[in-house]
Amino acid sequence: MKLALAQLNPTVADITGNLDLLKEAAHIAAEAGAELLVTSELFVCGYPPKDLIERQGFAAHCDEAIAQLATQLPPSLGVLVGHPTLRDVPSGRVANGCSLLYQGKVQATVHKILLPNYDVFDERRYFRSAAVTRCIEFRGHKLGVHICEDAWFHDPALPYLSEAHPPADPIALLAADGAEVFINLSASPFEAGKDQTRQALFARQAQKYQRPFVFVNQFGGNDDLVFDGRSFVLNARGEVVTQLPGFSRGIAVIDLQQLPDPVFPAGEDRSGDLLDALILGLKDYMRKSCFTDCVLGLSGGVDSALVAYLAARALGPSHVHGLLMPSRYSSDHSVADAIDLAKRLGIEHVTIPIDAIHAAFESTTVVGAELASDPVGLASQNLQSRIRGTIVMERSNHNGWLALATGNKSELAMGYCTLYGDMNGGFAALSDVYKQDVFALCRYINTVREGAEVIPTRVIDKPPSAELAPDQFDQDTLPPYEVLDGILAGLIDRQESVSSLSERFPKATVEWVAKRLDRNEYKRWQMPPGVKLSPRAFGTGRRMPMAAKFEYR
Where in the sequence numbering do the catalytic residues fall? 41, 112, 148
181: part of which helix (H) or strand (E)? strand 181-186
Distances (CA, A) of 431 to 145, 389, 390, 496, 538: 37, 17, 20, 21, 7
Distance CA 70, CA 64 (A): 10
Query: What sign does the dihedral 86-249-307-431 (CA atoms) show?
Result: positive
Distance CA 411, CA 474 (A): 10
Q: In degrees, to the nearest 5, what angle opens at C-alpha 49 toward C-alphas 44 and 52?
A: 105
Coil, strand, or helix at residue 553?
coil
Q: In degrees, to the nearest 5, what angle opens at C-alpha 470 toward C-alphas 469 and 471?
A: 115
| CA 513 distance to own-chain centroid | 26
Looking only at the bridges linking them, the beta strands covering 240-243 and 232-234 are: antiparallel
Distances (CA, A) of 134 to 170, 324, 326: 9, 61, 65
Burial (Cβ within 10 Å: 0-12, 13-18, ≥19) of residue 79: buried
Distance CA 362, CA 367 (A): 7
Q: In degrees, to the nearest 5, what angle opens at C-alpha 370 toward C-alphas 366 and 375?
A: 140
Q: Do residues 506 and 370 make contact, with C-beta atoms less than 8 angstroms apart? A: no
Strand partners, 253: 4
Beta strands in 441-527 (DSSP E): none
Query: What sign does the dihedral 42-44-47-52 (CA atoms) show?
Result: negative
221: part of which helix (H) or strand (E)? strand 219-222
Distance CA 505, CA 315 (A): 41
Helices and strands, number each (H, E), in the chain: 19, 19
Helix, strand, coil percentages, rounded to 5, for the chain: 40, 20, 40
| Phi, psi dihedrals of residue 58, rounded to the nearest 5° | -65, -50
Peptide bond into 74 cis (omega under 30): no
Distance CA 486, CA 507 (A): 13
Find, among 342, 337, 313, the residue nearest to 326 by Cα. Answer: 337
* The one-letter amino acid at 394: E
Distance CA 170, CA 176 (A): 10
